[in-house]
Amino acid sequence: MTTARTDPDTPTVGLRLRGVELGYGPASAPPVVGPIDLDLPAGATTAIIGANGCGKSTLLRGLTRQLPLRAGHIEVLGQDLSGAGAREYARTVALLPQHPVALEGMTVAQLVARGRHPHRGLLGGRGDGDDAAIAAALESTALTELADREVTSLSGGQRQRAWLALVLAQQTPVVLLDEPTSYLDLAHQVDVLDLVRLLPDPRSAAPPESAGPHASRPADNGPAQTAGAPPAAAPRATVVAVLHELNLAARCADHLVAMVRGQVVAAGRPAEVLVPEVLADVFGLDADVMPDPLLGHPVVLPRGIGDRLPPRTAPASPTAQEYR
C-alpha cells in the first residue's frame, strides 16, 4: 500500500482519495463533491481554495467521517482506515471545525484536555501521559499562562490558538482545519497559520518536553523564518486547511487544491495553481499574480472592471501622466 520514496515506512501521500463522492439527502440527489481522485502530500500543508459553495467544507466533512462517503475510498497515510473504529480514526485524523463551541465556564486547560478523549479507554482516567501532551500543546500555542482562564474570556486570536492546542493534544499525524482564520484580524491570521504550517507529526516526535512541537517551532523572529523551509529535523503533520484568503493560503501552503462545483480543477504548488487562468475559472476573478518580493510565494492582485482601462482624468502621479 505504501508508496516508498526514501524510507519504506514513510508514505509520500498523506491522503489518497479515489472516486470519492459526497452529498446530502437521498442518494439520488446530485453529489456536492466528486467523484474526485486526489492525492495530498504527507508531512506538508495543503490549502483547499474555491468559491463559496464549491464543496470545500463538505470534503472536510467526508474526511472526518461526519458525512459518509457515497462512493469511493480514502487512504490515510497509506492505510485503508474504512474499517477502523471511531476512536482509532480520531487518533489519526483531527479536525478544527469552522464554528467550534466551548462549554460555559470551561478553562483553556479543560478544553485542551478534551483532545485526549480518543486516547483514553471508556473507563480509564486521565494519566500523566495525557498531562504531558496537554502541557506540550499549551506550550506550542503559547497558552501556558492562560491555561486556567475561561475560554469564553479569551480574545479571538487566543481562542483560536486554544482550539489549535486541543487539536495538538489529540496528537494525530493528520490535521484538518476548516477556515481556521475566519473572524481574526490579519496579524492573528498570520500567527495562526504559521502555527498551522508547522504542526508536528506526533508519531516521530521525541517526548514532548524535550524536542516536541515547542522546539520545532521557530520563535517570533519575523516572517522570513516561518515561511522558509521547515526545520529538517522535525517531521511535520499532514495538514489540510480550507482557506478563504488566497494570499495567506499561498504563504502558508506547500500544496494548493482549487475546487469548482465539487470538482478539483487545479492542484500543485502555489505558483502552479495561483495563475490568472485558474483564478478566472475558480473565482471568476480577473487578477494579476506577482511573486512576493521577500518570500517568493505568488501574490494575487485582484482587478476590477475599470482597473485595466487607461484613466481619462488627470491622475496625480507623473507615471500615469505619460498615458496622455
Partner 1 sequence: MMPRSSVTAACGTGVSAHRAVSRMRRADRLRLGSAVAGLSVTLLVLAALRVLWGAYQVTPADFVRILSGQTIAGASFIVLEEKLPRAVAAMLAGAALGASGALYRRTLRNPLASPDILGVTTGAAAAVVAWLAATAAQMGGGSDLARSAAALVGALAAGAAVFLAARSIGGERFIVAGIAVGAAGQAIVAGTMLSLSQHDLQAATVWLAGSLNGVTWGRIALLAAATALLLPAAGLLHRALAPVDLGLPTATALGARPRRTGAAALIVGAGLAAAATAAVGPLAFVALLAGPAAQFLTGGRPSLTCSALAGAAMVVLADLLAAETTALLFDGARLPTGVLTGAAGAPLMLWMLLRQGRERGGRA
CA dist 292 and 270 (Å) reads: 12
Shortest distance, position 117 Cβ to partner 1, whole Å = 5
Count the residues of the shown chain that bind partner 1, applying the rule CB under 8 A.
65
CA dist 245 and 289 (Å) reads: 14
Shortest distance, position 57 Cβ to partner 1, whole Å = 10
Q: Which is nearer to partner 1, 122 or 309 (CB)?
A: 122
CA dist 255 and 226 (Å) reads: 16
| Cα dist from 128 to 132, 164, 173, whole Å | 6, 21, 21
**Grid coordinates 462512493 are at which residue?**
71
DSSP 257-317: EEEETTEEEEEESHHHHSSHHHHHHHH---EEEEE-TTT--EEEEE--TTTTSPP-S--SS
Contact call for residue 101 and partner 1 (CB under 8 A): yes
Q: Which is nearer to partner 1, 176 or 249 (CB)?
A: 176
Q: Which is nearer to partner 1, 134 or 279 (CB)?
A: 134
Contact call for residue 27 and partner 1 (CB under 8 A): no
Torsion angles phi and psi, residue 107, rounded to 5: -85, 165
Shortest distance, position 132 Cβ to partner 1, whole Å = 6
Region of 71-79, 213-221, 242-250, 273-281 interacting with partner 1 (CB under 8 A): 213-221
Residues binding partner 1 (CB under 8 A): 61, 64-66, 85-91, 93-95, 97-107, 109-111, 113-115, 117-118, 122, 126, 128, 131-132, 134-136, 138-140, 142, 144-145, 147-148, 152, 157, 166, 170, 176, 178, 187, 191, 208-210, 212, 214, 217, 219-220
